[in-house]
Amino acid sequence: MTELMIMPVARDSKKINQALKRLRTLGLNDAHQLLERARKGADTAIFYDLALVGNLTENLLAGIINISARTMLNYAQQGKKLEPAQSEHLLKLVQLYDLGIAAFGTVDELNIWLNKKCWNAKDAPMDWLITPGGVDMVKAQIEQLMEGYPV
């Protein structure tokens, strides 16, 4: 999963900014808010907005949260929400990308960092994103970088 997966289509900055604004209005300011929203189930629109903002393929993002892109499409067509565990994972990824964009300046710089192996590690941070705990670890590393600590 360490291979950088960039969407091959031209990026529409207006659509990206609109999606980013929608993600930032989810109210994920603390763990309690995130868990309450996850318990209710996340809309598939959040998945597609994160894929757009994060410059991630739908297959990659779906694989990270352990669902197929086809199932996600079916959920979207049926108006079905994600299960709480998948919702929590997706919402943590939203938080991570919001923090990462703030730390690195652009999503492209964040994705480069996510796909680079850390020193003395076999894996890149992107490899850790397949579990909610891994997302938390990567967020903690970004927070350390923002405070000036080496990771």
Q: How far out from the chain centre does Cα 43 lie?
A: 14
3-class DSSP string for 54-117: HCCCHHHHHHHCCCCHHHHHHHHHHCCCCCHHHHHHHHHHHHHHHHHHHHHCCHHHHHHHHCCC
Residue 93: is its pLDDT beyond 60? yes
Segment (H or E) for 2: none
pLDDT in tens, 26-82: 988 889 999 999 999 999 999 999 999 999 999 999 999 999 999 999 999 999 999
**What is the amino acid identity at position 35?**
L
Of the pLDDT bands very low, low, confident and very high (cuts 50, 70, 90), residue 12 is confident
Q: What is the pTM of this model?
A: 0.89
